[in-house]
């Protein structure tokens, strides 16, 4: 199966119908004395516990409960159904195909991360479908400022920060628990991988291989079951290495390094025994669209450039600023005075005072052969972030083009703001 593609909706309907029970989450809006589906999720998994929930308001309802497979399939097909004493009405004609994604373990997509790999299908709604309003939700459930905040809390237990679910009518999730990489530990001369999985404890392991590959070659190891596997790193972990768990020509799980290069949320399953090798991998690609280096905590024009870059990282796909690294990518370390903690607090204060709204980022200190490097790892925030100088009231918007931070064009700014619904 390809990592992405299209699946006929009829195939999904048949697959759901064959299940005895599935887990369903429904977000409904009141429309002319009927309840219309705004967003639905179906989980095809017998091992996930179900916590039944029902939030009811005058203009919206949110339901989580197990449903017979045929009932969920009928909803997916576009047929009205009675669910929890509510007649659920589907909006308009159903799409004939679904976007298909196969995701490794610990991979975030659409605000969801799972310890195991999974396959996801999404079906978009008709663009002409009316959107829910922004009224206060008060009723039989937690109170919310508007529908979007309630939806984000119901699905992800997180505050609302994007309108990602406004384009999706359905999301179907199927966990793949045959085998996955639970934990990877990387040291200076050894990589250790802990494998778990339903199939790894059985006898059907023919062709199962765990291999570490790079431009210099690869090290394959046959899999004999769940457990711990080791790979020697004679010269450290090579840049652009790929750790692959596969059976025949089908992958079960994988990790690609460098993981930290794009400033996104860190992979909790990857543990670096020493942060120096991680920093070496990050610097191997050089400064570019996702990496900016500073010799020391900047001042003046250099300070403005760094903060504009942080705003650009947050407005796009994220990135990392390293302080304590020279322009020629040599690690010089932070100066001894003031203390490293004070230097980190100074940068955090700069970001707080000049980047609006507050960007999603983490700051941490990396020790490399006794030299301290401050890493500002910025995640893509799904909207536009501005740099606002304390002497100017006018916000400025920037994007990253290669290794340069440049002013955003009007279409780029407009597209960024369209990602965030008005309130």
Between 9-17 and 69-77, two packed helices, what is the crossing angle to 10 degrees? 160
The pLDDT of residue 275 is 60
Same domain, 281 and 243: no
The confidence score (pLDDT) of residue 261 equals 44
Task: Let me know whether 141 and 187 are in one domain.
Answer: no
Q: How many domains does the chain have?
A: 3
Residue 282, Cα to own-chain centre: how many angstroms? Answer: 20
Q: Give me 140's structure tokens.
A: 């039989």
Please check whether residues 13 and 103 belong to one and the same domain: yes
Q: Are residues 319 and 233 in the same domain?
A: no
Q: What is the pLDDT of residue 278?
A: 67
Q: Are residues 186 and 170 in the same domain?
A: no
Identify whether residues 384 and 356 lie together within a single domain: yes
In a domain, 270, yes or no: no
Q: Give CA–CA dist 130/132, Å, rounded.
A: 7
Q: Which residues in 144-179 are b (16+ Cβ under 10 Å) and which e? A: bebbbbbbbbbbeeeebbbbebbebbbbbbbbbbbb
Domain boundary among 257, 287, 313: 257
DSSP 328-379: TS-B----SSS-HHHHHHHHHHHHHHHEES---EEEEEEEETTEEEEEEEEP
Contact 313, 383 (CB under 8 A): no
Residue 334's domain comprises 277-418
170 and 187 fall within a common domain: no
Whole-number pLDDT of residue 99: 93
Residue listed under structure tokens 């949320």: 265
The answer on 27 and 159 residing in a single domain is: yes
CATH number at 200 reads 2.60.40
CB neighbours of residue 412 within 10 Å = 15
**Max CA pair span of the chain:** 69
The reply to whether 77 and 113 lie within a common domain is yes
pLDDT < 50 regions, the chain: 1, 163-164, 259-265, 420-423
Going by C-beta distance under 8 Å and a sequence separation of 6 or more, which residues neighbour residue 292? 306, 309, 319, 320, 321, 322, 403, 405
Residues 87 and 152 in one domain: yes
Q: Let me know whether 34 and 49 are in one domain.
A: yes
**pLDDT at residue 418, as a whole number:** 54
């Amino acid at each position: 199966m390809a990592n992405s593609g299209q699946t006929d909706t009829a195939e999904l309907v048949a697959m759901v119908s064959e299940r005895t029970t599935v887990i369903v989450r429904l977000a409904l809006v009141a429309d002319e004395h009927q309840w219309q589906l705004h967003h639905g999720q179906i989980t095809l998994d017998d091992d996930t516990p179900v916590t039944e929930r029902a939030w009811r308001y005058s203009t919206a309802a949110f339901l989580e409960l197990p449903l017979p497979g045929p009932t969920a399939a009928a909803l997916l097909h576009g047929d009205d159904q009675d669910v929890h004493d509510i007649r659920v009405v589907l909006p308009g004609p159903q799409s004939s195909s679904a976007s298909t994604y196969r995701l490794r373990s610990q991979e975030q997509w659409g605000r969801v991360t799972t310890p195991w790999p999974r396959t996801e299908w999404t079906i978009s709604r008709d663009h002409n479908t009316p959107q829910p309003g922004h009224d206060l939700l008060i009723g039989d459930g937690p109170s919310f400022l508007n529908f979007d905040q309630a939806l984000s809390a119901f699905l992800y237990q997180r505050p609302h920060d994007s309108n990602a679910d406004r384009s999706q009518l359905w999301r179907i999730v199927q966990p793949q628990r045959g085998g996955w990489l639970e934990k990877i530990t990387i040291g200076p001369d050894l990589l250790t991988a802990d494998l778990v999985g339903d199939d790894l404890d059985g006898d059907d392991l023919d062709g199962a291989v765990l291999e570490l590959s790079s431009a210099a070659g690869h090290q394959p190891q046959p899999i004999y079951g769940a457990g711990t596997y080791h790979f020697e790193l004679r010269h450290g972990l090579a840049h652009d290495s790929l750790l692959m768990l596969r059976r025949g020509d089908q992958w079960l799980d994988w990790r690609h390094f460098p993981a930290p290069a794009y400033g996104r949320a860190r992979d909790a399953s990857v543990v670096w025994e020493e942060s120096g090798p991680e920093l070496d991998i990050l610097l191997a690609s050089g400064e570019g669209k996702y990496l900016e280096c500073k010799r020391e905590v900047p001042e003046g024009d250099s300070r403005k450039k760094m903060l504009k870059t942080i705003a650009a990282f947050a407005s796009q796909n994220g990135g990392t600023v390293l302080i304590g690294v020279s322009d020629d990518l040599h690690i010089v370390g932070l100066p001894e005075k003031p203390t490293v903690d004070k230097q980190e607090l100074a940068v955090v204060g700069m970001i707080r005072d000049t980047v609006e709204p507050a960007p999603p980022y983490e700051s941490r200190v990396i020790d490399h052969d006794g030299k301290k490097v401050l890493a500002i790892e910025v995640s893509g925030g799904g909207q536009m972030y501005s740099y606002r100088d304390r002497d100017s009231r006018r916000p400025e918007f920037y994007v990253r083009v290669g290794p340069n931070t440049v002013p955003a064009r009007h279409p780029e700014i407009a597209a960024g703001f369209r990602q965030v619904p008005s309130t």
